[in-house]
Amino acid sequence: MKCIVFQIAAVILLLPAISSAQVAVTSVKGEAFGKSVYGLGFSGGPASGVGISYRYHAEGKASLQGVLGIFKPKNTDTFYSFGAEYQHDLTRSNSARFFFGAATSFFFNGSDANRYAAPFRFGAGLGGEFLLQEGVHMTFQGLFTYFSDGTIVPLPQISIHYYFY
């Protein structure tokens, strides 16, 4: 319970700090991010989870992402993760955007009890999203990730989304 309270407090404390240092160049894909858009894809990372991803980019500079992954291989225990991420654009061009990201997730592996010693994670750092072709965007991030056992490690994340303009 302490971990969840810590994660929520960290996000709340970081929001005012990042909102005052924004620079917008132009909208990605013309005016596409000047209005609300959403995307579906796949995301993988220790801070936001691994699985199918839904991203909603609001009219301004904010983006929200949810990740859900459930894997049940035939001869092993169930693995699942779910997570959420907030992204705030720092700068945009016609083919890229750079942003601050904060993410949290929960991982589970086992049949009765969780085998992970640190199932809750929280990460914060920077990322970039790049247009590959019409509607398809690839995202790379580097987040300092806090694990619920007290470990903090800089780790990468990657995702690919198709945006519905």
Mean pLDDT score of the chain: 83
Q: Is the pLDDT of residue 135 over 70?
A: yes
Q: Is the pLDDT of residue 159 over 70?
A: yes
Q: Is the pLDDT of residue 19 over 80?
A: no
Predicted pLDDT at 25: 35
Total domains in the chain come to 1
DSSP state of 33: G
Of 66 and 135, the structure prediction assigns the larger pLDDT to: 66
Report the percentage of the chain scoring pLDDT > 90.
59
Distance (Å, whole) CA 28 – CA 16: 24
CATH value at residue 133: 2.40.160.20
Q: Is the pLDDT of residue 137 over 90?
A: yes
Please, are residues 147 and 7 in contact by the beta-carbon 8 Å criterion? no
Q: pLDDT confidence of 60, banded at 50, 70, 90? A: confident
Distance (Å, whole) CA 37 – CA 90: 18
Contacts of 45 by beta carbon, 8 Å cutoff, 6+ apart: 103, 123, 141, 143, 155, 156, 157, 158, 159
State which residues form the domain around 84.
Answer: 2-164
- Structure confidence by residue, pLDDT tens digits, 106-133: 999 988 888 888 999 999 999 999 999 9
